[in-house]
């Protein structure tokens, strides 16, 4: 999964196969920029402060966030230093066109020291999972061989499951959470993770492939499809030792509390008919419970003692 996705993000335009919240409406990035500004205030306005985005895609989220910061939170805008964690050279090129002054990293290890605010939208779902299957009183792990799944005896994930059930573990996501927890715990700051998955750890195979905007076999053409799996938010929160977790909450109420519909209304009033209704429809797509508003969750991991961040009240 890691190698297939590395090839996929290196060579393809992922946004032909799927769309993400920042590509649906500019308001998404604007609200997250203002979320970060409020958190920065509550941290005591450190200057400089690192603003980090993991997996920035086209750069749209951060472009919209920075525009809102410049207008509404000039102090934060002046203090922030932008760092992007991105492995795809292709996408780095697109990000550079929108995000002046950014510094890129292959991984979080090379980020400079200091207080920081981290945003990660649809980042953890792209990281490779392992799948374990409960068999008898032991576990098998699924491996890919010859384009199909085989099972081999394994130690197992340390979870409870019934016969034949699949349990997924995303070790890089847990390592990321562990890093974030110790980092904000020791040096201050907060992280905001938005992605799809259950709030409470679940069982089942959630590996999915999207190719040409349609579901595909994950094994059909490695590197040609986007591979993702649901994020186990409970496991991510538990792995973030050193941080205080807020949420996960559903994306719909989170964005509504941040002012999704008010801001969309203000923008829509400046537009002509079809564009105004498109903006309202985009906000509904992000927020409605049976669309992205319910499946997507939001988790904040904050330095201990920080007030409850916006959207989690």
Q: Is 228 in the site for ligand SAH (CB under 6 A)?
A: no
Could you write out the DSSP letters of every residue in 191-217?
EEEEEES-SS---S---EEEETTEEE-
Q: CB of residue 87 vs ligand SAH: minimum separation in angstroms?
A: 4
Contact between 6 and 87 (Cβ < 8 Å): yes
Q: Is 8 in the site for ligand SAH (CB under 6 A)?
A: no
Judged by beta carbon, residue 177 or residue 306, the one nearer ligand SAH is 177
- Of the candidate residues 4, 5, 102, 283, the single one contacting ligand SAH (CB under 6 A): 5
Q: Is 22 in the site for ligand SAH (CB under 6 A)?
A: yes
Judged by beta carbon, residue 5 or residue 251, the one nearer ligand SAH is 5
Count of residues in contact with ligand SAH, rule CB under 6 A = 20
3-state secondary structure of 49: strand
> Looking only at residues 42 through 61 of this chain, which bind ligand SAH when binding is defined by CB under 6 A?
55-57, 61
Question: What x-and-dash track marks residues 101-140 binding ligand SAH by CB under 6 A?
Answer: --------------------xxx--xx-------------
Judged by beta carbon, residue 121 or residue 131, the one nearer ligand SAH is 121
CA nearest neighbour of 293 among 258, 253, 265, 259: 253
The H or E element containing residue 119 is strand 116-121
Query: Residue 128: how many CB atoms within 10 A of its CB?
Result: 17
Cα–Cα distance between 121 and 192 in angstroms, integer? Answer: 8
Q: Which residues contact 68 (CB under 8 A, 6 or more apart)?
A: 29, 30, 31, 33, 34
Judged by beta carbon, residue 23 or residue 165, the one nearer ligand SAH is 23
Judged by beta carbon, residue 103 or residue 145, the one nearer ligand SAH is 103
Helix%, strand%, coil% for the chain, nearest 5: 40, 25, 35
Judged by beta carbon, residue 1 or residue 306, the one nearer ligand SAH is 1
Binding site for ligand SAH (CB under 6 A): 5, 9, 14, 20, 22-23, 55-57, 61, 85-88, 91, 121-123, 126-127
């Amino acid at each position: 999964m890691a190698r297939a996705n590395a090839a996929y993000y290196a060579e393809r335009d992922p946004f032909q196969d799927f769309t993400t919240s920042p590509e649906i409406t500019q308001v998404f990035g604007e609200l997250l920029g203002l979320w970060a500004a409020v958190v920065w205030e509550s941290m005591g306005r450190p200057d400089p402060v690192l603003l980090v985005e993991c997996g920035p895609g086209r750069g749209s989220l951060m472009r919209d966030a920075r525009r809102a910061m410049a207008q509404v939170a000039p102090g934060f805008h002046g203090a922030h230093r932008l760092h992007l964690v991105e492995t795809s050279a292709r996408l780095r090129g697109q990000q550079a066109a929108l995000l002046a002054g950014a510094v890129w990293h292959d991984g979080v290890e090379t980020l400079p020291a200091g207080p920081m605010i981290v945003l990660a939208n649809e980042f953890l779902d792209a990281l490779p999972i392992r799948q374990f299957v409960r068999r008898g009183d032991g576990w098998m792990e699924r491996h890919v061989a010859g384009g199909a799944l085989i099972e081999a005896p394994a130690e197992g994930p340390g979870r409870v499951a019934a016969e034949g059930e699949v349990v997924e573990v995303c070790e890089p996501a847990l390592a990321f959470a562990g890093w974030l927890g110790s980092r904000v715990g020791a040096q201050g700051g907060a992280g905001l993770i938005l992605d799809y998955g259950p709030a409470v750890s679940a069982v089942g195979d959630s590996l999915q492939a999207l190719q040409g905007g349609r579901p595909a076999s994950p094994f059909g053409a490695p590197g040609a499809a986007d591979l993702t799996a649901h994020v186990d938010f409970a496991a991510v929160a538990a792995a973030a030792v050193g941080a205080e977790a807020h949420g996960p909450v559903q994306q719909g109420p989170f964005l509504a509390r941040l002012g999704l519909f008010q801001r969309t209304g203000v923008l829509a009033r400046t537009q002509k008919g079809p564009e105004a209704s498109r903006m309202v429809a985009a906000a509904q797509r992000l927020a409605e419970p049976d669309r992205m508003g319910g499946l997507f969750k939001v988790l904040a991991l904050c330095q201990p003692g920080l007030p409850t961040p916006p959207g989690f009240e």
